[in-house]
Structure 1
Amino acid sequence: MADDVRPIIIKRKKVIAGGHHGGAWKVAYADFVTAMMAFFLLMWLLNATTEDQRKGLADYFNPSIPVHRTSGGGDGPFGGPSQKSEETLAQNGSGATKERPSAQSLAKGETGSDSADVPEEAFIEIQAALKALGGESALADEILKHVRTRVTDEGLVIEIFDIEGSPLFEAETDAETAVMRTLMILIGDVVNLVENRISVAGHITSVPLSGPEFKGWDISTRRALLSRGLLGRAGVAQTRFARVAGMADRDLQQEDPFDVRNNRIEITVLRSGSEAEG
């Protein structure tokens, strides 16, 4: 009887655990969390800082290294000074520094004073400030249609001209319009971003002016003088004006000598040391 007992066989199912899936998801999640933190930090900074502070932060992360034919960069952070030696500081003038000016620099008066040549970056800043005024309102956009800027060997030229149906001055007079007064306030603000001297020139079209008292030289000169006065009222120091001149129709900007855009005022932010600044 005992021989008829069958053995009990227990079958155990072998469970094979899944392989290791890795931690790539953790890296992706960490990147996401970091990005969100940076985003909320940016939002906080935009709300908690002033315009000047934001500009300082932007300049910190986007430094501008001066590029000039007589200047070079240093070897420190962002092209600035290092802690090793004075020879590696950013160079000012022809291979010289403020602490060790060269003979050539001394001869030119390049001793690190504030009268150094205004850099191209300053001209760009003025141009950008003018462009930034647009978009604030439909009126500002219309007024800035009168303005054009260009950089020359003499400096930054801010050209203000008539538009058909929207003159700067009453016909054949030096009586300014409301558009001209508004423009002088805006331009007075932007030219005060630098301390360089200023030249003002009045220009007119070749259209003959009626009456013996309305000579081209006279009217363009009176308009230039009036523009200087308007800039003064806008906060530009009178000591900054190096030259005020009436050019009549001797320097037309448009091919058509009768184009109203030849009626214009040119305000030039002069390069320091230029002949015009004298």
Structure 2
Amino acid sequence: MARQGNAAPVIIKRKKVVGEHGHHGGAWKVAYADFVTAMMAFFLLMWLLNATTEKQRKGIADYFDPVIAVNRISGGGDGAFGGESMFSEDVLAQTGTGASAARPTEQRQAMGLTGDAEAAAEQRALEDLDSALRATSGESMTMERLMRHVVTRITDEGLVVELFDLPDSPLFIPASATATPLLKELMQVVADSFRLVGNQVAVQGFVPSFPITLIENPVWALSAERALGARALLQGAGLDPERIQRVTGYADRRPAVNDPMALRNNRLELVLLRTGR
């Protein structure tokens, strides 16, 4: 067929399609994860260097040394017990570092057991006793009634068991050092709890402020007499007298609330002392 003279020419346009940049994949994620892991290891190392003693650091270094000898002492050992004392461990159970917290030898201290471990064990014992005291409030209606008068807290000094007056049930006959039956029951509960550990005990008495119109302010004598009476009640409830380290009357010098004359300031504090306090 002949081509028509007036037909429009066919124009073919060719476009060069430039592809987008290729996908980089997940390589950057791996690199970032390696970076984060390295930083975490670095900060852990800095924390270990700051939180451990020289002996503990030596023990850690020995743990990661692949060529360290199992026993540094050659055949026969250094003495019959290989450098240990037969009194260095009271029990067979070990802590995981190779030693218990009782009288560790120098060699075992290098494996990480120092006074810090003993302090940590004592802290756990105080926390357990604190939890046990709190749990007694739900045992019976009688215990719930008694534990309304009790507040516990753990301080740098030790476990503080605070016994305080309530408007409807005082611990002492007002303005005297004569204990009520309620206080005697509370002292029995506290003594039973304190016998679970061997720490020393401090007894502290507090009273609210009296009106300034009094000629002789009885706060010092009254707080001291009540503290002494509390000591006698503890011993009568079965606490070893040798564990009483001090008995103190603080008068109205340390109020528990802002109002110095408030009934809440009428209280006793029985402190289960930390070692060395």
Instruction: Report the TM-score, using the length of structure 2 for normalisation.
Output: 0.59
Which of the residues 119, 130, 135 maps onto 1:132?
135
For the pair shown, the structure with the greater C-alpha radius of gyration is 2
Deviation above 2 Å: which 4+ runs of structure 1?
Answer: 68-75, 78-81, 90-93, 96-103, 207-214
Matching of residue 256 in structure 1 with residue 263 in structure 2: no
What amino acid maps onto 2:98 in structure 1?
Answer: L
Instruction: Look up the match of 2:42.
Output: none
Matching of residue 121 in structure 1 with residue 124 in structure 2: yes
Which of the residues 164, 171, 180 maps onto 2:167?
164
1:69/1:134 Cα in 2 relative to 1: closer, same or farther (>3 Å)?
Answer: farther
What amino acid maps onto 2:136 in structure 1?
Answer: L
Secondary structure of residue in 1 paired with 2:107: coil
Secondary structure of residue in 2 paired with 1:236: coil
Matching of residue 89 in structure 1 with residue 98 in structure 2: yes
Matching of residue 100 in structure 1 with residue 96 in structure 2: no
Range moving further from structure 2, 210-219 or 258-267: 210-219
Secondary structure of residue in 2 paired with 1:227: helix
Alpha-carbon distance between aligned partners in 2 of 1:209 and 1:178, rounded to the nearest angstrom: 31
Instruction: Look up the match of 2:7.
Output: none
What amino acid maps onto 2:178 in structure 1?
Answer: A
Quote the sequence identity (%).
37
Alpha-carbon distance between aligned partners in 1 of 2:162 and 2:108, rounded to the nearest angstrom: 37
Instruction: Look up the match of 1:194.
Output: 197
TM-superposed CA distance for 1:243, in Å, is: 0.6
1:220/1:69 Cα in 2 relative to 1: closer, same or farther (>3 Å)?
Answer: farther
Instruction: Look up the match of 1:80.
Output: 95
The number of residue pairs the alignment matches comes to: 189
Supply the RMSD in Å over aligned alpha carbons: 3.5
What amino acid maps onto 1:129 in structure 2?
Answer: A
Does the aligned pair in 1 maintain the 2:199–2:243 contact within 8 Å? Answer: yes
What residue ranges of structure 1 are gaps of 5+ in the alignment?
Answer: 1-67, 82-87
Instruction: Report the TM-score, using the length of structure 1 for normalisation.
Output: 0.59
Matching of residues 23-38 of structure 1 within 5 Å: none
1:205/1:69 Cα in 2 relative to 1: closer, same or farther (>3 Å)?
Answer: farther
Instruction: Look up the match of 1:232.
Output: 235
Does the aligned pair in 1 maintain the 2:257–2:264 contact within 8 Å? Answer: yes
Secondary structure of residue in 2 paired with 1:180: helix
What amino acid maps onto 1:152 in structure 2?
Answer: T
Alpha-carbon distance between aligned partners in 2 of 1:169 and 1:209, rounded to the nearest angstrom: 22
What residue ranges of structure 2 are gaps of 5+ in the alignment?
Answer: 1-50, 64-92
